[in-house]
Chain A
Amino acid sequence: DAKTTQPTSMDCAEGRAANLPCNHSTISGNEYVYWYRQIHSQGPQYIIHGLKNNETNEMASLIITEDRKSSTLILPHATLRDTAVYYCIVRATGTASKLTFGTGTRLQVTL
């Protein structure tokens, strides 16, 4: 699976949009971009995934560049409960394929 690079940490004011970048320059054609987050002492929570088109759900939006070498997760109105470690993961197609977790971005939402 392709490797991803994320900033170690980011801050965001409550109510503002949080934009979390991810680089995955070695991504291959059949690999999806997944985003999960982990709130302290809990299991990871699935947020969103996409292949090449931008995606939006009730939690977030995922913007993937045309060359697919990077993406951005957008939380449109961050709240204190969004404070967590966010993981960007590239995963091959197929439910049996692995998720390889990197170090992620620690997002701190402040008042």
Chain B
Amino acid sequence: GAVVSQHPSWVICKSGTSVKIECRSLDFQATTMFWYRQFPKQSLMLMATSNEGSKATYEQGVEKDKFLINHASLTLSTLTVTSAHPEDSSFYICSASWGANYNQPQHFGDGTRLSIL
């Protein structure tokens, strides 16, 4: 089955630093990748959608200058949380799908737990 890998799985850092999270599709070319955030005991909330080679589309209320998304290749997307603060602590999850119009399901990574001290 389709495999999506996220790295790191866990990161702890000081307030004010920037953190980069990688999302890779291991056995397929991902034309579209999605980034979600999940706070404790809540559901997943979509942050942004990125297509390879173009700018990401952010959901309402998500700061594009704070959450930088790069999707430079068909197998890699990165999310950088800039100047992270404790309120950015959350579970960040990426997903990927392939194909242009065919109805393929999204496949998810195992998430990155970010803790800002």
Contact = CB atoms under 8 A, between A and B. Distances in A.
Given A43-B93, A44-B44, A102-B43, A95 B32 contact: yes
A96 to B, nearest CB: 5
Contacts of B8: none
Interface in B60-109: 91, 93, 95, 97-109
B96 to A, nearest CB: 9
A95 B110 CA distance: 20
A49 B108 contact: no
Nearest to B99: A95
Nearest to B50: A96
Contacts, number: 64
Nearest to B31: A95
Contacts of A100: 46
Contacts of A32: 103
Given A49-B105, A98-B49, 13 more contacts: A36-B108, A41-B111, A41-B113, A42-B111, A87-B43, A95-B100, A95-B104, A95-B106, A96-B31, A96-B49, A98-B46, A101-B43, A103-B43
24 contacts: A32-B103, A41-B91, A43-B95, A43-B108, A43-B111, A44-B44, A44-B95, A46-B106, A46-B108, A49-B103, A87-B43, A95-B32, A95-B101, A95-B102, A96-B31, A96-B32, A96-B49, A96-B97, A98-B34, A98-B49, A99-B34, A101-B45, A103-B43, A104-B43
Interface of B: 4, 6, 31-32, 34, 36, 43-46, 49, 51, 91, 93, 95, 97-111, 113
Interface of A: 32, 34, 36, 38, 41-46, 49, 87, 93-96, 98-104
